Amino acid sequence: MGIAGKSIGADCGSVLKQALSGKAFKSCIAARADGALLDLSAPVPAGTEHLEAVDEDSPEGLEILRHSAAHVLARAVRRLFPQAGVSIGPAIEKGFYYDFDVPRPFSPEDFQAIETEMRKCVDEAVPFVRRELPKVEALRFFTDRGDTYKTEIIRDLETDTVSLYDLGGFTDLCRGPHLPHAGFIRAFKLLSVAGAYWRGDEKNKMLSRIYGTAFAREDDLRKHLFRIEEAKRRDHRKLGRELDLFDFHEDVAPGMVFWHPKGMLLRVILEDFLRKEHLKRGYELVQGPQLLRRELWEKSGHYDNYRENMYFTEIEGDIYGIKPMNCLAHMLIYGRKPRSYRELPVRYSEFGVVHRHELSGVLHGLLRVRQFTQDDAHIICRPDQLEDEIIGVITLMRDLFNLFGFSYKLGVATRPEKYIGGIDAWERATAALLKALERLDLPCKIYEGDGAFYGPKIDCRVTDSLDREWQCSTIQCDFTLPERFDLSYTGADGEKHRPVMVHRAILGSLERFIGILVEHSAGAFPVWLAPEQARILTVTERHDEHARSVQQALRAAGIRAETDLRNEKLGYKVRATQVEKIPYMLVTGDKELETGGVNLRLRGGETVGSKTIEEVAALIQAESDAPFKQGGMNYRFS
């Protein structure tokens, strides 16, 4: 809700209240003056022209509410555990956390007492009171209280004045803004605990982190807590074991996946589809080695800028790096012979297995691993082809995510502090990415300083069925590595010219994407991707032969079918098939033995009834083909 065009002089909070009087003021928790967020009690800066109310359920309002909830949490902990050291407590996506230095790490059993103390603060509507102190005085204030984490933060601040917020006897170092009082935090819940190194450095002390969430309304909180419980039910590690897809053996191979037959078939179907789709779009399939000499990684800049994420080994006195990415091999393949401008663009695709060092504490099933497969590709093109090639990659990305039912949003990550290449090359690369998005009329967010060390990039974040965001695709524009590897082509003028390289992965890590897809679909994969599309269930042993003949006929029609001939009751077999998320159940009993058909049931529990084998095959094939016809693609696994 905007209140624009008011000229407001420097004054106290009463002027702000007057400017936001009535409904606007009653429903807001903070204000924005010419774009800057302010507490409602703050003086309005002199010369302010535009004043807006920040509502409690707006994105900015929720962030303020959650940050304020973190302060309420810290106050409650300090009242219950007076010796607890307090460090930082920011708002995060969908919640907040606070890190504490305590002799015994917190556990969920502590939550009831902490939440009760937090509720007292909320019920009493304890006000947030801001004050500013010279840096020296603030340092003395926290030193006298023994708050060593706050004093360390203050010493690193390059400012003469710092702001503090008082909350009913608890004082925290904070930039703000905050709620007028704690009474606005009506819907909150503590969720989990974790260990966290101070300032993210494993050399520092491990602190005890409490995670929580807060919303403007109880209904929003209930929906969020339901999604959390649903996410636990859909956890890909749990479903991976239940569906017999994959597993992990952290004692012998931490951060690496053991694919079972069904899971491997799922991967093969996905890779087969992706390869065919790439070939249709003008890509060529290549493959590079797993090991390359250290000198090559030095030449590319990876050794100086990325080696902490790499593994190295020694062979006959030479140091080799195990590849964390595929681009170097692709450049060597391109550079094996002279190139003409007529040959460009060259598009190399590789499902390359890569290894990256991850700390054991961050490994998480398929979502964070040390060995994974990228649906990687590199496009080497002329500068005048760059925008069109970027658009082609975005189009492929769009088609794939629409196929899997993901919504997505895009961001452009710009030059980081640690980079290679010249500023001019970075500016040209960034401009090409932005121009391609502009031509497609796609909005994007700018992530300052988050680019790769060799070039800016477009990042794609998909939203799953539980409204969670995942980073998947990346499109990186690179003028620097072609220079370092002396890649060239002969132009129409007969002169040598430098090409540009686009690094891109659409699904990203196949392991990570499959983990996301398992949770997105709750393991009920689309029929075209399901490793087992149909299962034939027998009532008694005398129906076994008919079941085998049905299986043979379906397999001949290109359908992945299995039989369940166990000496178990039909109801047990049906339930087992539903638990395993098999799309189609084909029951064979005496009637079906006579007619030569089957009784068809679906994984959702619906009974379709008697069908011939030909009708079942046509039905399964039609459902398998439907997503591709809608998306203008054509695919059949064989």
Q: What is the pLDDT of residues 414-463, one digit of tens each?
A: 999 888 888 998 999 999 999 999 999 999 999 999 888 888 999 999 99
Alpha-carbon Rg of the chain, whole angstroms? 30
Domain contains 179? yes
Q: Do 299 and 338 reside in the same domain of the chain?
A: yes
Q: Which of 174, 198, 233 finishes a domain? A: 233
Q: Does 18 or 138 have the greater pLDDT score?
A: 138
Q: Do 70 and 47 reside in the same domain of the chain?
A: no
> Tokens 């969908």, residue?
94
Q: Do 517 and 539 reside in the same domain of the chain?
A: no
Q: What pLDDT, on the 0 to 100 scale, is given for residue 287? A: 96
To 10 degrees, the CA torsion angle through 305, 306, 308, 310?
Answer: -150
Identity of the highest mean pLDDT range in 37-41, 66-70, 201-205: 66-70
Span 110-134, average pLDDT: 97
Q: Do 477 and 615 reside in the same domain of the chain?
A: no
Q: Do 504 and 566 reside in the same domain of the chain?
A: no
Distance CA 294, CA 301 (A): 11
Check which CATH number belongs to the domain holding 125 and give it: 3.30.980.10
Q: Which of 521, 547, 581 finishes a domain? A: 521
Q: Does 1 or 40 have the greater pLDDT score?
A: 40
Q: What is the pLDDT of residues 455-505, one digit of tens each?
A: 899 999 999 999 899 999 999 999 999 999 999 999 999 999 999 999 999
DSSP secondary-structure letter at 182?
G
Check which CATH number belongs to the domain holding 599 and give it: 3.40.50.800
Q: Do 306 and 343 reside in the same domain of the chain?
A: yes
Q: Do 432 and 302 reside in the same domain of the chain?
A: yes
Q: What pLDDT, on the 0 to 100 scale, is given for residue 2? A: 38
**What is the full DSSP assignment across 464-513?**
-TTS-EEEEEEEEEESHHHHHTT--EE-TTSSEE--EEEEEEEEEEHHHH
Q: Do 508 and 560 reside in the same domain of the chain?
A: no
To the nearest 10 degrees (0 to 180), the angle between helices 261-280 and 510-521 is: 110
Q: Do 473 and 605 reside in the same domain of the chain?
A: no
Distance CA 603, CA 524 (A): 9
Q: Do 322 and 400 reside in the same domain of the chain?
A: yes
Q: Do 495 and 608 reside in the same domain of the chain?
A: no
Q: Which of 472, 498, 521 finishes a domain? A: 521
Q: What pLDDT, on the 0 to 100 scale, is given for residue 50? A: 84
Half-sphere exposure of 446 (CA within 13 A, CB side): 9
Domain count, the chain: 4
Q: Do 607 and 512 reside in the same domain of the chain?
A: no
Question: Percent of the chain having pLDDT more than 70?
Answer: 94
Q: What pLDDT, on the 0 to 100 scale, is given for residue 46? A: 82
- Where is average pLDDT lowest: 10-19, 117-126, 258-267? 10-19
Q: What is the pLDDT of residues 566-622, one digit of tens each?
A: 999 999 999 999 999 999 999 999 999 999 999 999 998 899 999 999 999 999 999
Catalytic residue list: 327, 356, 374, 376, 378, 457, 503
Span 51-73, average pLDDT: 93
- For residue 336, the tally of other CB atoms under 10 A from its CB is 7
Q: What pLDDT, on the 0 to 100 scale, is given for residue 47? A: 84
Domain contains 430? yes
Check which CATH number belongs to the domain holding 38 and give it: 3.10.20
**pLDDT surpassing 60 at residue 1:** no
Domain contains 529? no
State which residues form the domain around 398.
Answer: 246-521
Domain contains 144? yes
Span 76-91, average pLDDT: 96
Q: In what order do the strands lie in the sheet with 51-55?
A: 2-3, 51-55, 28-33, 36-39
- For residue 343, the tally of other CB atoms under 10 A from its CB is 13
